[in-house]
Amino acid sequence: MDVLVTGAAGYVGSVVSEQLLAGGHRVIALDNLGQGHRAALGPEVDFIQVDLCDAPRLDDIFSGRNIDAVMHLAALSIVPHSVSNPEEYFQTNVIGGLNLLNSMLKNNVTRLVFSSSASVYGIPESIPVTEDSPQIPIHPYGECKVMFERILKWYGEAYGLNSISLRYFNAAGATSLHGEHHQPETHLIPNVLKVPLGKVDHVTIFANDYETEDGTCVRDYVHVIDIADAHLKALNAIAGAGTKAYNLGSGTGYSNLQVVRMVEQVSGVSVPVVFESRRAGDPPVLVASSDLAGKELGWVPQYGLEEIVQSAWQWQSKFLDGYSD
C-alpha cells in the first residue's frame, strides 16, 4: 500500500514508518518538524514538510499522489503546555485533523488509523481500563483526542470513513534506528537514563505517598515496536471496519521506582532519586486491558519492561544527543 503517515518524524511516527517500510509498504511522510526530526526518516520515504493547518497544501498532496490509507500520528502532546495554551492545541490537533479528513475524502481515501491516547480516560474509575471506561479527560490534550475520536464516528456515519483509533498508554523503548528525542523530555524512562549517561546527577519523581506498593505512581509501559505492530495490524483490518477503538497496554503496571531499579539493573549504575510533591491529575495507577485488541486485531505485546529499558539504553548510549538535527 501507499500509506501517508502524519507526524512521521516523531518518536512513534518514525518507528511506524520503519515498520511499514519493512512490511513492503510505501510511505508518504508528513511532518512540520516542530517536534519531529528529519534525521529520524531515511531516504526511502517520500518526505514532505507541511503543517496540517495548511489545508490547501494538504489538498495538493492528496491530489498529486495515489494514497491508499492514512496513519495519523501528528499532534502537539505536552500536557502542561496544553493547559496553558489550549488554543494552539485545539487548532493543531482538532482543526488540523479536520483538514486531513477533508482532504482524504475529497480524494476518496477512506481508511484511517488514528494515534489516540490513554489520556481520553482522565482519572479512571476502575483498573484495568477498558474501552468502555468513561472518557473524562482532565486536560486539553486529552480533550483533543476525545473530540477527534467523536469526529471520526460522525464522519464514518456520514461519509463512509473507516477508522481505527489506538489508545496507547506509555510508549517506551527504541529500535536500533529510532528512539526518544523530545525537547523538553517529559517521559520517565529517558529521563532516568540521563543519570547513567552522565547528563544529570539524579532523577525527580513526583511523590511517594500514593496508595501503591512503594508509594509511587504505577503505569503501563508498551514497547514502541509493539505499538507500531498494532498500527500495521489495524491497517490490515481497517477495510470495512466502520469506527473502532482499541486500548494498547501490557496489562501489567510498574511503579516509578520499579522503573528506576530496572534502569539500574540494565545500566549497572546507581540512580539517586529526589521526590517532589504530587502533580495535579496524576492517577495513582493506570493500567490497560488490551483484551479487545487481542481478540479483534490479533495484537499481543511481545516485550516487557526489561526489554523496553534495554532497547532505550542501547539507543541513547549510541545517540547521546539524540538526532543530529
Residues designated catalytic: 141
What gap in Å lies between CA 232 and CA 16, rounded to an integer? 8
SS3 call for 73 = coil
Q: How many CB atoms lie within 10 A of CB 321?
A: 8
Q: Rounded to an integer, what distance in angstroms lies between the CA atom of residue 98 and that of residue 104?
A: 10
**H or E stretch at 204:** strand 203-206
Helix (H) or strand (E) holding 46: strand 46-49
Residues forming beta bridges with residue 201, ordered by sequence position: none
Beta bridge partners of 49: 31
**Bridge partner residues of 113 (DSSP):** 71, 164
Query: 7: which DSSP letter?
Result: T
Instruction: Indicate if the alpha-carbon torsion angle 254, 256, 258, 262 is positive or negative.
Output: positive
